[in-house]
C-alpha cells in the first residue's frame, strides 16, 4: 500500500547503534513510507546526523532515546514526563521530540485485556522502556509500581517481597534472541498474577510469556507495541491519522512473515512430504530437524541409535530443535519423537505454530525408522498422544494428498498468526 507517495526527498528512518534484527523498515513500508531506512550511528555521529536539514521523521532506539532529547527544540509533554524520545520530526522551529512507545505500550496492554488500575505492577529493568511502562501504569491508576533492577533497592535477590505483584512487565533484554530461554522471573511464583507483558518481540513468545500462557494468565509479547508505536510515529511524520485497523493488518502480516510453521506427528505420518509441499506453496525454506541431525552427526539416524543410543539422539535432536526454532519465517519438520523431550516445546513454540499431522495408523510409512519399524504403533500412538496434544496448536488430517494437507495448514496459519 502506498499511503505517502511523495516523501519530498526527506530522510526517514530509525537511528540506533545495532539495528540488525529490526522490523521497522518492513513496518513503515507497509504504512506507506518507502523512504524509511536504518541508520546505525556511533554516539559521536549523533549531533551531525541530527543537524541535517532534510530530516523528515526519525525513530530512535537503544541507546539514544535519552541522548536525543538535548537536540530537540520542543518536547511533547509525554516525552518530557517519561524522559525518553523515540520519535523526532523536523519542523520550522527545529526538532520536535515525542514518545510513541507509550501509545504502543498502552495498545499492547489493552489488546491483551490487561488493566493496571488498582493493581500492583512489577516492572523488571530500569532503562528507557521501563520509564515508559512506569509512566503508563501510573497514569492508568496502578496502586503501586515497583521497579526491579539488578543493583536497585528492589532486586532479583529480594524479589520474594513482591510476590503479591499482579501485573508483571519485562522491560529488560532478558530472553531476547539469541538468548531465548533466559527469564527475569517465573509468573507461577506470583500467586495473584493477572497479567504478563514482555516488551521483547523477537522471539514472539519469550519463556516469560510461555510460562504465563501455560498458567492461563493473560499475556502479550512486544510485537503489537512495536507496530502500534510505528503507526503513531507515521502519524506524526505526515500529520495524517491512520486507523487502528492498519495496526492490526500490519501486525498480522509481520506476525505471519516472522512465524514458523512447525510440523510434528507420528513417524511415517507424512511430515516431511507435507512440509515439502508446503514449501512449494509458500516459497518458504523447509528445515528438517532429522536431516540437520544427520548432517551434524555425519551418520544416519539408524547409526546414531545403534552406536550411541536413544539418549544421545535426543540430545542432538534438542540441540537442532533449538537452532531451528530460533529463526522465524520458515517451515520446520520434526522427528516423531520430538515431543518426548519437553525441553523442545519452548524452542518450537517461541516463534511457531505447531501442527500435529494425523494419519490412519494402517497407512503409516515405517521404512528407515528405527523406533517404529518393529513397534506396536497403536501403543506408541496412545503413549504419545498426550504429548502431541500438549505441543500442538492445531491438528491436520493427512488423509488425502500431501498438497491437500499442506493447503489446510497454510489456510489455518494465515488465519491464526497474529501476535
Size of the site for ligand NAP (CB under 6 A): 24
DSSP string, 304-367: HHHHH-HHHHHHHHHHHHHHHHHS-SSEEE--GGGGGSGGGHHHHHSSEEEEEEE--GGG---T
How far apart are CB 395 and ligand NAP at their closest, in Å?
32
- In whole angstroms, how far apart are CA 247 and each of 154, 251, 329? 36, 6, 20
- Indicate the residue among 95 and 171 with the shorter CB distance to ligand NAP: 171
| Least distance to ligand NAP, CB of residue 142, Å | 19
- 368: region left, alpha or beta (phi > 0 left; psi from -120 to 50 alpha): left
Give alpha helix (H) positions in 16-62: 24-30, 46-50
Is residue 172 near ligand NAP by the rule CB under 6 A? yes
Q: Which residues of 41-155 form beta strands (DSSP E)?
A: 55-60, 74-75, 87-91, 94-98, 120-124, 144-148
Q: Does residue 199 touch ligand NAP according to CB under 6 A?
A: yes
Residue 287: left if φ>0, alpha if ψ -120 to 50, beta else—which one? beta
Residue 155 C-beta: closest distance to ligand NAP, Å:
8
Q: How far is the CB of 261 from ligand NAP (least distance, A)?
A: 24
Is 200 one of the binding residues for ligand NAP (CB under 6 A)?
Answer: yes
| Binding residue (CB under 6 A) for ligand NAP from 52, 150, 163, 366 | 150
Q: Rank residues 99 and 264 by Cβ distance to ligand NAP and give the closer one.
A: 99
For the bound state, the minimum distance from the C-beta of residue 119 to ligand NAP, rounded and expressed in Å, comes to 21
The binder of ligand NAP chosen from 29, 110, 140, 149 (CB under 6 A): 149
Given the complex with ligand NAP, which of 59 and 320 has the nearer CB atom?
59
The nearer residue to ligand NAP, 72 or 176, going by C-beta atoms, is 176
CA dihedral 168, 171, 173, 176 (to 10 degrees): 60
Nearer to ligand NAP, 150 or 163 (CB): 150
- Closest distance of CB 228 from ligand NAP, Å: 8
Rounded Cα distance between 264 and 103, Å, is 39
* Long-range Cβ pairs for the range 250-253 (8 Å, 24+): 250/27, 250/30, 250/31, 251/223, 251/224, 251/227, 251/418, 251/419, 252/417, 252/418, 253/30
Our CB check for ligand NAP shows the closer of 99 and 344 to be 99
Looking at 149-270, which runs of residues are DSSP E strands?
Answer: 167-170, 195-198, 219-220, 260-265
Shorter beta-carbon distance to ligand NAP: residue 23 or 238: 23
- Report, in Å, the least distance between residue 312 CB and ligand NAP: 32
Range 85-144, binding ligand NAP (CB under 6 A): 101, 104, 125-130
Give me the least distance between CB of 343 and ligand NAP, in Å please: 22
Residue 201 is a binding residue for ligand NAP (CB under 6 A)? yes
125 phi-psi bin (left φ>0, alpha ψ -120 to 50, beta other): left
For residue 5 the three cell numbers come to 507517495
What SS3 state is found at 144? strand
Cell 512447525 identifies what position? 262
**Shortest Cβ contact with ligand NAP: which residue?**
127
Q: Would you list the DSSP string of 401-412?
A: -HHHHHHHHHHH
Which residue lies nearer to ligand NAP by CB, 134 or 320?
A: 134
- Cβ 124 to ligand NAP, closest distance in Å? 7
Cβ distance to ligand NAP smaller for residue 230 or 339: 230
* Unique residue bearing C-alpha cell 504429548: 387
Binders of ligand NAP among 37-76, rule CB under 6 A?
62
Q: Segment contacting ligand NAP (CB under 6 A): 221-229, 265-273, 292-300, 311-319?
A: 221-229
- Residues in contact with ligand NAP by CB under 6 A are 62, 101, 104, 125-130, 149-150, 152, 171-174, 176, 199-201, 222, 225-226, 229
Amino acid at each position: 500500500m502506498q499511503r505517502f507517495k511523495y516523501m519530498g526527498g526527506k530522510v526517514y528512518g530509525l537511528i540506533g547503534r545495532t539495528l540488525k534484527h529490526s522490523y521497522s523498515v518492513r513496518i513503515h513500508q507497509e504504512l506507506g513510507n518507502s523512504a524509511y531506512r536504518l541508520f546505525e550511528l556511533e554516539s559521536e555521529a549523533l549531533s551531525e546526523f541530527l543537524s541535517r536539514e532534510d530530516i523528515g521523521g526519525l525513530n530512535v532506539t537503544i541507546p539514544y532515546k535519552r541522548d536525543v532529547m538535548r537536540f530537540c527544540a520542543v518536547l511533547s509533554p509525554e516525552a518530557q514526563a517519561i524522559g525518553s524520545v523515540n520519535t523526532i520530526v523536523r519542523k520550522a522551529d527545529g526538532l520536535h521530540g515525542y514518545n510513541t512507545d507509550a501509545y504502543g505500550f498502552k495498545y499492547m496492554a489493552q489488546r491483551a485485556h490487561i488493566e493496571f488500575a488498582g493493581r500492583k505492577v512489577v516492572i523488571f529493568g530500569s532503562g528507557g522502556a521501563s520509564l515508559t511502562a512506569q509512566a503508563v501504569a501510573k497514569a492508568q491508576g496502578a496502586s503501586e509500581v515497583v521497579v526491579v533492577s539488578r543493583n536497585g533497592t528492589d532486586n532479583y535477590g529480594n524479589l520474594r517481597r513482591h510476590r503479591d505483584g499482579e501485573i508483571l512487565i519485562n522491560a529488560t533484554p532478558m530472553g531476547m534472541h539469541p538468548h531465548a530461554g533466559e527469564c527475569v522471573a517465573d509468573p507461577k511464583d506470583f500467586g495473584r498474577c493477572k497479567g504478563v507483558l514482555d516488551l521483547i518481540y523477537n522471539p514472539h513468545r519469550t519463556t516469560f510469556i510461555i510460562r504465563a500462557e501455560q498458567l492461563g494468565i493473560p499475556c502479550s509479547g512486544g510485537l503489537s507495541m512495536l507496530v502500534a508505536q510505528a503507526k503513531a510515529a507515521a502519524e506524526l511524520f505526515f500529520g495524517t491519522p491512520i486507523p487502528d485497523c492498519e495496526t492490526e493488518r500490519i501486525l498480522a502480516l509481520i506476525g505471519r512473515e516472522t512465524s514458523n510453521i512447525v510440523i510434528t506427528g507420528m513417524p511415517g505420518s507424512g511430515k516431511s512430504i507435507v512440509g515439502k509441499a508446503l514449501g512449494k506453496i509458500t516459497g518458504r525454506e523447509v528445515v528438517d530437524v532429522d536431516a540437520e541431525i544427520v548432517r551434524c552427526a555425519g551418520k544416519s539416524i539408524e547409526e546414531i541409535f545403534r552406536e550411541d543410543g536413544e539418549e544421545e539422539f535426543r540430545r542432538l535432536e534438542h540441540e537442532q530443535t533449538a537452532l531451528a526454532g530460533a529463526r522465524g519465517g520458515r517451515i520446520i519438520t520434526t522427528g516423531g519423537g520430538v515431543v518426548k523431550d519437553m525441553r523442545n516445546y519452548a524452542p518450537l513454540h517461541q516463534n511457531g505454530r505447531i501442527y500435529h499431522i494425523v494419519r490412519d495408523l494402517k497407512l503409516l510409512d515405517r521404512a528407515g525408522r528405527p523406533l517404529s519399524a518393529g513397534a506396536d504403533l497403536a501403543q506408541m500412538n496412545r503413549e504419545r498422544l498426550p504429548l502431541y496434544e500438549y505441543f500442538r496448536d492445531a491438528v491436520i488430517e493427512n488423509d488425502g494428498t500431501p498438497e491437500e494437507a499442506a493447503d489446510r495448514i497454510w489456510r489455518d496459519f494465515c488465519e491464526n498468526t497474529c501476535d
